[in-house]
Structure 1
Amino acid sequence: MSAVSDRLPVFPWDKLEPYKKTAAAHPDGIVDLSVGTPVDPVPDLIQKALVDAADSPGYPTVWGTPALRDTITGWLERRLGARDVTHRHVLPIVGSKELVAWLPTQLGLGPGDKVAFPRLAYPTYEVGARLARAEHIAYDDPTELDPAGLKLLWLNSPSNPTGRVLSKEELTRIVAWAREHGVLVFSDECYIELGWEAAPVSVLHPDVNGGSFEGIVSVHSLSKRSNLAGYRAAFLAGDPDVLGPLLEIRKHGGMMTSAPTQAAVVAALGDDEHVRVQRERYAARREALRGALLAHGFRIEHSEASLYLWATRDESCWQTVAHLADLGILVAPGDFYGPAGEQFVRVALTATDERVRAAVARLS
């Protein structure tokens, strides 16, 4: 029997190590704009909630506390415009990456089933299909796919890596097509509160789904909007006929969000002010980096939302990575996200103000 790891591609970030060493050798140190990991402090009210819940000797529940579910449903209605959301419509998860990687397996997909995702996409969508031994298909427009055997359709708006936002009209058309063909839609909306030149819309909005959650689930994370990547805090929302069985499977698998993290999520989703403050930080960094990249000869496409600038000099992405590494700046090569990204790099906004100023100086 072959090892499960044999089904997977080489872990892409390992290929970036030589360039990281080059960038780190810069006299003023590396400016790491590659991975996109938050660097700003966890807001005090969230830290306090975590500490106050630190004495949690018992097992947490997979479905989360009633307070957590109440907070999630309230946030969905307040921030996304969802309607008639109950506890049955939500499910906490242990960070969004584990969900993406294991969802096809937990849905019971396997050989002969198809999982589709955008042409330029977070690589874990493909990894999830491979782990389940399902087929994987990249698309430009999902409504042009052959629906035969298509069991899971991933949407990602705002997009990682491109920052592209699907309009309300596009989402409505895709959801209608998927329902017509019995295709389950999972919409990765982890960057939905980080729109800059567009206002992202959720598939949970009644203008998109017609007031029904049938066949649709959205994925949300607190990693970026609240700097909680280290907490592994995320949740699903949507069709209870999908979430109910997933809850049972995850109970058997012991996939529980820790009790202190659940308390922290209640505090985070209940407060909009820290999100506003963090957005302002990212907006300033985005403006500075965007201007510096354009002045340096880059072209930026999409990037109307999320925490990345999708940039190109119309050359191999690895040439661009090497060029920037010589300046002490590390970015992600676009081909990590599919062959269509081979001439682009992804530039993350997740560096301190001081490091962003250093990058701008080096690009000028």
Structure 2
Amino acid sequence: MSSTTGPGTAVSGSRGPHLPDFPWDSLARQTDTAKSHPDGIVNLSVGTPVDPVPANLQRALSAAADQPGYPATHGTPELREAAVAALHRRYGITGLAPEAVLPTIGTKELVAWLPTLLGIRPGDVVAIPELAYPTYEVGARIAGAEVVRLAPGELPPAGTALLWLNSPSNPTGQVLDARQLADSVRRAREIGAVVASDECYLALGWDTEPVSVLHPSVCSDFRGVLAAHSLSKSSNLAGYRAGFITGDPDLVGRLLELRKHAGMIVPRPVQEAVTAALRDDEHVRAQRELYAARRALLRPALEAAGFRIDHSQAGLYLWATRGDDAWQTVDWLAQRGILVAPGTFYGPAGDRHVRIALTATDERIAAAAKRLAE
């Protein structure tokens, strides 16, 4: 178990928390190097979708364009019912009530503000994975909490108020099985912590089938457990800022009341697009096949170039190493016109790995594979 700097110290001239620099700003030099390649950059450093928004989702958005009134913070009943039905069809989740679904403005804002909305304060502990999406730490710092990073299989210490789970993992693609998830939920309940499971990549299992923390094999009731879902990856709706949180109805109710006061409302046209996306599984399958094909091309090309791929059983990334310092590997790839993210963006334990995204067009993925073979 490792600890990150605890309650945020004041920034000079302000009373706000001291936040780390935005990680991707530090890739400016490598970006310029990659852009100088004669065939242009292959940007695999971020998980930004590049494929078109499905036509039926675009139609749902535009059909609701004439909405002069304020939308409901809780979302339409149709959206919430569609979410419950989709989670049952796609992931076998049972027992959810539509009232326990709350749409969010994407999931990044949810991750960043969840500790504050849950009432976490200075002196509280937020436990996050050893290698984790940076916004888990940022959200804890905004609330002034102490951050503890947990090694794989490690359970949160006493005093933890919020435990973040992320399976499939960003950045590693590691998948926690039902027993591991259940152990985390059980421990969190013992110490009075809320479990928040980031399940943005749940639809993208490759070597194994991911399971939700809300699945009956993990917990028989949703007390103290929340799951966050994004439509950015599965439905290419990153530009729409479309997500939702569900689970414990009491916790969701508390979040709803706070979000009403704070004006955290998903626009009504986006709510209609979300509803359409949740009702349609075919576009999710089609997008999954695109990512599977890109993965099948890029992974062996990396391995042939001397990389080892660790974990990466699911999700949108390949967690790769050549045994070198992460930044040396970033430079090596940038010289070949390929931009990736150093593993250190996700925690000190990533200092020998890079995260390589599958979110590029077929043509750019093929270009990267060709360069790796040269």
The answer on 1:344 being equivalent to 2:353 is: yes
Structure-1 separation of matches of 2:15 and 2:174 = 33
Letter in 1 for 2:95: D
From 163, 167, 171, the counterpart of 1:153: 163
From 161, 172, 182, the counterpart of 1:172: 182
Structure-1 separation of matches of 2:250 and 2:278 = 25
Partner residue, 1:293: 302
Per-residue CA distance 1:246-295 (angstroms, 9 max, x = gap): 10000000000000000000111111111111111100100111010000
Please list every run of at least 4 consecutive aligned residues from structure 1 whose deviation after the TM superposition is greater than 6 angstroms. none
Structure-1 separation of matches of 2:328 and 2:17 = 29
RMSD (CA atoms): 1.1
Structure-1 separation of matches of 2:60 and 2:144 = 41
The answer on 1:100 being equivalent to 2:107 is: no
Cα deviation, residue 143, structure 1: 4.9
The answer on 1:197 being equivalent to 2:207 is: yes
Preserved contact between residue 34 and residue 41 of structure 2 (Cα < 8 Å): yes
Cα deviation, residue 6, structure 1: 5.2
Question: Could you say what secondary structure the match of 2:50 adopts?
Answer: coil
Structure-2 separation of matches of 1:274 and 1:303 = 23
Structure-1 separation of matches of 2:46 and 2:282 = 26
Structure-2 separation of matches of 1:192 and 1:246 = 23
Cα deviation, residue 113, structure 1: 0.3
Per-residue CA distance 1:202-239 (angstroms, 9 max, x = gap): 011111102x1111000000000000000000000100
Structure-2 separation of matches of 1:198 and 1:61 = 38
Per-residue CA distance 1:5-43 (angstroms, 9 max, x = gap): 651011111100110011001110000000110000000
Per-residue CA distance 1:308-363 (angstroms, 9 max, x = gap): 00000011111000010000000001000000001100000000000011001100
Structure-1 separation of matches of 2:361 and 2:320 = 20
Partner residue, 1:282: 291
Q: Give 1:106-255 correspondences, 5 Å limit.
A: 106-141=117-152, 143-147=154-158, 149-210=159-220, 212-255=221-264
Partner residue, 2:334: 325
* Cα gap change, 1:197 to 1:206, in 2 (>3 Å): same
Letter in 1 for 2:235: S
Number of residue pairs matched by the alignment: 362
TM-score (norm 1): 0.98
From 30, 41, 60, the counterpart of 2:71: 60
Structure-2 separation of matches of 1:143 and 1:240 = 28
Structure-2 separation of matches of 1:195 and 1:4 = 43
Preserved contact between residue 64 and residue 92 of structure 1 (Cα < 8 Å): yes
Question: Could you say what secondary structure the match of 1:165 adopts?
Answer: coil
Letter in 2 for 1:214: R
Partner residue, 1:69: 80
The answer on 1:45 being equivalent to 2:56 is: yes
Cα deviation, residue 172, structure 1: 1.4
* Cα gap change, 1:332 to 1:5, in 2 (>3 Å): farther
* Cα gap change, 1:4 to 1:332, in 2 (>3 Å): farther
Partner residue, 2:3: none
Cα deviation, residue 145, structure 1: 3.2
Per-residue CA distance 1:61-106 (angstroms, 9 max, x = gap): 1100111111111112211212121122211110000011011111
Cα deviation, residue 144, structure 1: 3.6
Question: Could you say what secondary structure the match of 1:85 adopts?
Answer: coil
Larger CA deviation: 254-263 vs 1-10: 1-10
Structure-1 separation of matches of 2:239 and 2:67 = 19
Cα deviation, residue 160, structure 1: 0.0
The answer on 1:356 being equivalent to 2:356 is: no
* Cα gap change, 1:96 to 1:151, in 2 (>3 Å): same
Per-residue CA distance 1:144-189 (angstroms, 9 max, x = gap): 4321x21000000000000000011111121112112211100000
Structure 1 stretches lacking a partner, 5+ long? none
Question: Could you say what secondary structure the match of 1:207 adopts?
Answer: coil
Preserved contact between residue 153 and residue 180 of structure 2 (Cα < 8 Å): no
Question: Could you say what secondary structure the match of 2:30 adopts?
Answer: helix
Letter in 2 for 1:180: E
Q: Give 1:253-272 correspondences, 5 Å limit.
A: 253-272=262-281
From 21, 24, 30, the counterpart of 1:13: 24
Preserved contact between residue 92 and residue 257 of structure 1 (Cα < 8 Å): yes
Structure 2 stretches lacking a partner, 5+ long? 1-9
